[in-house]
Amino acid sequence: MIFAMDIGNTNIKAAVFDGDRLLKKWRCATNLTMTSDQYGIIMVDLFRYNGLDMHAIEGIMISSVVPTINYTIEHMCRDYFGKEPKLLVPGMKTGLNIRYENPRELGSDRIANAVAVAARYGGPSVFIDFGTATTYGVISAKNEFMGGAIGPGLRMMNAALAGGTAKLPSIELVMPPTVIGRTTVTNIQSGILYGYMGSVEKIVNEMRREMGCPQAKVIATGGMAHMVKANSCVIDEIDPDLTLNGLRLIYEKNEG
């Protein structure tokens, strides 16, 4: 069995795979103040609760966009799994031609997503990860990672507006009944959410135009993917386990 961890700015997603079958997945908060033992106890409890044996894990693959937590998580893996984890870094085998000018700048989660999209859906396609940041990636018809775009996520936009103004509140991220709001809350909901949906559609359509493929498939993942799909017309499929499956595939490629 393989254990995969995707460490994001807000959450850590983890999954246990038996071959290509996902047995169980979890999500916990990314907390820079927690120790390796605290994370270890969380993992012990999760494995025990789900009837899984931590000692049956043969390998661990990690993607992280939070470098300051890496040492803690690696230490936890050694102490509680008895395994040296593999951290997704530039130079690892991915089976993907990455056309980024400087691949070392590319986030490991985006690499994992690109590998999973190329393997499962093929190109030409666009993938979007609706996380703390909103990241877009493009896979060509030749299954090359061509690049993409990065913007703020919905929660970040909400927090920035509330934190950067004196009187505007933080609001619940639900679609208002109309674009023309009649309260401060619905005004903010309209501005953030309809504006965000419009930006997603604009970026996807421009990417399709530059690719010369107006029907390129769009795959979404991340916490806000369902809301965006329900309120826009560009997302074809939601794959909640995209990053974790990409990590599994990369581990298999590097273990031969």
| Extended beta strands in 131-182, E state | 133-139, 144-152
Same domain? For 11 and 138 the reply is: no
Token code pair at residue 43:
């993992």
**Residue 248 resides in a domain:** no
What pLDDT digit, counting tens, does each position of 18-73 carry?
Answer: 999 999 999 999 999 999 999 999 999 999 999 999 999 999 999 999 999 999 99
What domain count does the chain have?
2
Same domain? For 188 and 126 the reply is: yes
Q: Rounded distance, CA 12 to CA 30, Å?
A: 6
What pLDDT digit, counting tens, does each position of 64-120 carry?
Answer: 999 999 999 999 999 999 999 999 987 889 989 999 888 888 999 999 999 999 999
Distance, C-alpha 111 to centroid of its chain: 10
Question: Is the Cβ–Cβ distance between 12 and 29 less than 8 Å?
Answer: yes
- Domain ranges, residue 55: 2-87
**Residue 7 resides in a domain:** yes
Same domain? For 77 and 101 the reply is: no
**Residue 172 resides in a domain:** yes
Same domain? For 50 and 157 the reply is: no
Same domain? For 150 and 231 the reply is: yes
CATH code, domain carrying 58: 3.30.420.40
Active-site residue list = 109
Q: Rounded distance, CA 217 to CA 198, Å?
A: 18
- DSSP states of 199-222 as a string? HHHHHHHHHHHHHT-TT-EEEEES
**Residue 253 resides in a domain:** no
**Residue 25 resides in a domain:** yes
Whole-structure pTM value:
0.92
**Residue 114 resides in a domain:** no
Token code pair at residue 160:
């920035």
Same domain? For 134 and 82 the reply is: no
Same domain? For 237 and 126 the reply is: yes
